[in-house]
Amino acid sequence: MTEYDCNVAIIGSGPAGIGAATALTKRGVKNITIFEREADIGGIPRHTKHLTYGLLVFGRPMTGPNFIKKIMARCKNVKIETNISVIAIKQNSEFEIATVSGVQKARAQHIILATGARETTRHARLVSGLRPQGILSTAALQQYIYSFGTCPFHKAIIVGTELVSFSAIWTLWRAKIRPVAMIEANNRITAYRPAVLMAKALGVPIFYNSKITDIESDDKLKTISIESKSGEKHKFECDGVIFSGEFIGENSLAQASHLQINPQTNIPLMDENWLSSDVDVTLIGNAAHPADMGDQCYLEGLKIGNVIADQMNHKNDSIKSFIAIKHGSNIKMTTPNMVRMSHQSAKNIDILLHVTKQYWGLVTVKYAGKTLYQKRHRCLPARRIRLKNIRLEPLNINDKSSIEISLE
């Protein structure tokens, strides 16, 4: 026994982790610990002072810090360890943590990975060039302005048009920083179309079908050049570039563990009950499906907390065999990305998918050569597309096929 042993270890203190802890305590599960590597709890929302939280949970808009405060008021009798990093998870629900006293081992009955997501960096987007000051993510921008009270630059370009990209525009305006332009690689914004009205109202032009071709700087950023697919070129004076969106799950901890990983997405395999390939480890929130809004992650956490409480009470009933879900081109990810099946009973499941580009047509689900689902959907990036009531028959123990999802 160590001082960090617990019944449930929750790694990450964002809305999903808080939601799971809240539901577990209401179900009577005791000795729950949330581990947070930073000094403050709340994840990304604690830096976000826009009124973009609370509608789904409380029926009214509120800032990120207020949202975290209100959901934490519901989270009773949960131990929170801050400034502690979980550095490894192992089989039998063992994990290692880094503390000021050194690395320590601990154990839980169940581990919940609620590690969240992060924006794709400039280099991961294959934007070459020098590395001057002034190149940030949206999360870093919000930290500078809202947490540190500093102004990192005066004229900024925003790369991307997801909801978080328009959040960046608002953050810049609040700080009296001029947003010069938005750059989008596709022929429409990724966020909902009405967001274009916000950009127009604030005088921010959007350049579609375009990408950055050059970054000019000395120690500081001076100009960037862009080029459209048609060959049209533009050059902007700016001292800041914000690479927004294109979220990826923060799953380095899982990827270094014994958990099986989906090779298409680098997200751990996760079934319809959010259980990983190890039934004692659950993956939730934006670590599993980057990136949903804070309200959605919190509500999912509440649901998952109840699922885990049931699973802990009937641990021996957990099915360990599963079918992997694979997806075709232009599909970013599916949730779940595997399905646990028994050899005796059939089941119906829903599958959520996200696409990488606009699509209108048939979505097909097949298993072992049989079509399980085929319906026409209008699919847009950054939207959840729900495939409902997919019927799965009892698993043939000799059939090693995967479930295949395609746009066709």
Q: In the prediction, which pLDDT does 28 show? A: 94
pLDDT band per the 50, 70, 90 thresholds, residue 395: low
Comparing 131 with 248, the larger pLDDT belongs to 248
- Contact in structure between 407 and 359 (CB atoms under 8 Å): yes
Full domain range(s) for residue 370: 320-408
- Contact in structure between 381 and 310 (CB atoms under 8 Å): no
Q: In the prediction, which pLDDT does 379 show? A: 92
Q: In the prediction, which pLDDT does 408 show? A: 82
Q: In the prediction, which pLDDT does 316 show? A: 54
CB-count exposure of residue 241 (10 Å: 0-12, 13-18, 19+) = buried
Taking only the tens place, the pLDDT of each residue in 238-251 is 999 999 998 999 99
Taking only the tens place, the pLDDT of each residue in 78-106 is 999 999 999 999 999 999 999 888 899 99
Mean pLDDT of 325-353: 89
CA distance 367 to 12: 35
Same-domain pairing of 222 and 367 = no
Q: In the prediction, which pLDDT does 129 show? A: 66
Query: Which residues, in sequence order, are CB contacts of 33 under 8 Å at separation 6+?
Result: 4, 6, 8, 9, 10, 78, 79, 80, 81, 108
Same-domain pairing of 308 and 381 = no
Percent of the chain at pLDDT > 90 equals 70
Instruction: Give me the phi and psi of 13, to 5 degrees please.
Output: -115, 30
Q: Is residue 182 scored above 80 in pLDDT?
A: yes
pLDDT band per the 50, 70, 90 thresholds, residue 369: confident
Q: In the prediction, which pLDDT does 146 show? A: 86
Q: Is residue 344 scored above 80 in pLDDT?
A: no
CA distance 146 to 150: 8
Instruction: Indicate the pTM of the whole model.
Output: 0.90
Mean pLDDT of 302-312: 92
| Nearest Cα residue to 253 out of 16, 4, 86, 44 | 86
Q: In the prediction, which pLDDT does 396 show? A: 60
Mean pLDDT of 213-231: 90
Q: In the prediction, which pLDDT does 158 show? A: 96
Taking only the tens place, the pLDDT of each residue in 278-291 is 999 999 999 999 88
Task: Give the CATH number, domain containing residue 390.
Answer: 2.60.40
263, 291, 318 — which closes off a domain?
318
CA distance 36 to 363: 39
- Contact in structure between 33 and 136 (CB atoms under 8 Å): no
Comparing 41 with 341, the larger pLDDT belongs to 41
Same-domain pairing of 226 and 288 = no
Q: In the prediction, which pLDDT does 174 show? A: 86
Q: Is residue 74 scored above 60 in pLDDT?
A: yes
Task: Give the CATH number, domain containing residue 164.
Answer: 3.50.50.60
Instruction: Give me the phi and psi of 104, to 5 degrees please.
Output: -130, 150
CA distance 380 to 84: 39
Same-domain pairing of 148 and 224 = yes
Same-domain pairing of 330 and 307 = no
Q: How do beta strands 322-327 and 247-249 pair?
A: unpaired
pLDDT band per the 50, 70, 90 thresholds, residue 133: confident
Q: Is residue 318 scored above 80 in pLDDT?
A: no
195, 221, 245 — which closes off a domain?
245
245, 265, 298 — which closes off a domain?
245
Same-domain pairing of 212 and 274 = no
- Contact in structure between 87 and 96 (CB atoms under 8 Å): yes
Same-domain pairing of 108 and 44 = yes
